[in-house]
Amino acid sequence: MPSLIDIRRRIRSVRNTQQITKAMKMVSAAKLRRAQDRVIQSRPYGGMLRSVLANVAAAAALDEQAGENELLARREEKTILLVVISGDKGLAGAFNTNIIKGAHRFMVEKPGITVKLELIGRKGRDFFRKRGAAIAGDSIGLANRPTYADTAAIARKAMDLYRRAEIDGVYVIYNEFKSVVAQKLTVSRVLPVELPAASPAGAGTVDYIFEQAPARMLDVLLPRYVEMEFFHALLESAAAEHAARMTAMEAATSNAAEMIDKLTLFMNRVRQASITKEIIEVVSGAASAS
């Protein structure tokens, strides 16, 4: 049976850990609010961009002299690029584990296809680097607070590889933010671009007059659309990571409180047994002396 000193030392250690997890929960809650605001603010822009892209693509399709954009070219998938968005830190529950398992399952489900990895986040990079995966590139420090400039650089790299026909498809796997307690593992195909369907004629459509040729506008909008898809995935992943970490730290804080209560009860029982033993020894000594 452990001594009272050992039990008190363990209670003190658990209480210190509880203070750390409680502080981490508060920090993640503050970061989550900012990340959630960024996700919500980006959604109207993404929706409007898809709507404009659909109208421009419909107009460009009517131009017989316009050639097909390279980002729309569909080829047989022999080599694909998988962009894995994980976190830079742990202590976020199953956030990083789900991403890694999802990426591994994606590669298993593509037999006979070469899968190159573009890794965003330290956890994913460390995992796949140790296992000798085909890594096309990695980026650290974007998962916590992604910026459009850094995200656009990764998107342009993927588009250049696709234009040169070095890859035949680009997929992004990330955790989509649904709520504080729910994140959805999402795999989306970014290239070739899947053009949104334009609204049918007569269903509230607007007959636009394009100042430039629709095909030329499409050449400008498609890269922006791909960059926005990358940026949106990173924003969703950042919000999901903060939510997962806040939930994990809240659970850790509650478990620490339960452990402190159990250790305190056990300490009281040990102290009571010790006092009872001393009383018995005193009474036995007095009885034998008399």
pLDDT value of residue 84: 92
Terminal Cα-to-Cα distance of the chain (whole angstroms): 33
Structure token pair of residue 186: 């999402």
* Alpha-carbon distances, residue 223 vs 143, 164, 182, 248, 261 (angstroms): 22, 15, 31, 37, 57
pLDDT more than 70, % of the chain? 90
Q: With 0.75 as the threshold, say if the pTM is over it.
A: yes
Report how far residue 163's alpha carbon sits from residue 166's, in angstroms, rounded to the nearest whole number: 8
From the number of C-beta atoms within 10 Å of its C-beta (0-12, 13-18, 19+), residue 32 rates as buried
The answer, yes or no, to whether residue 89 has pLDDT greater than 90, is: no
Amino acid at 149: A
pLDDT more than 90, % of the chain? 10
Report how far residue 287's alpha carbon sits from residue 274's, in angstroms, rounded to the nearest whole number: 20
Q: Which candidate, 244, 251, 109, places its Cα nearest to that of 185?
A: 244
Pick the CATH number of 27-198+211-247 from 3.40.50.2300, 3.40.1380.10, 3.40.190.10, 1.10.20.10: 3.40.1380.10
Report how far residue 168's alpha carbon sits from residue 114's, in angstroms, rounded to the nearest whole number: 10
Arithmetic mean of pLDDT over the chain = 82
Least confident window among 33-37, 157-161, 177-181, 198-202: 198-202
Element (H, E) at 119: strand 114-120
Q: Which candidate, 188, 195, 196, places its Cα nearest to that of 234?
A: 188
Q: Is the dihedral of CA 136, 139, 145, 147 positive or negative?
A: negative
R_g of the chain, CA atoms, integer Å: 29
Least confident window among 118-132, 201-215, 228-242: 201-215
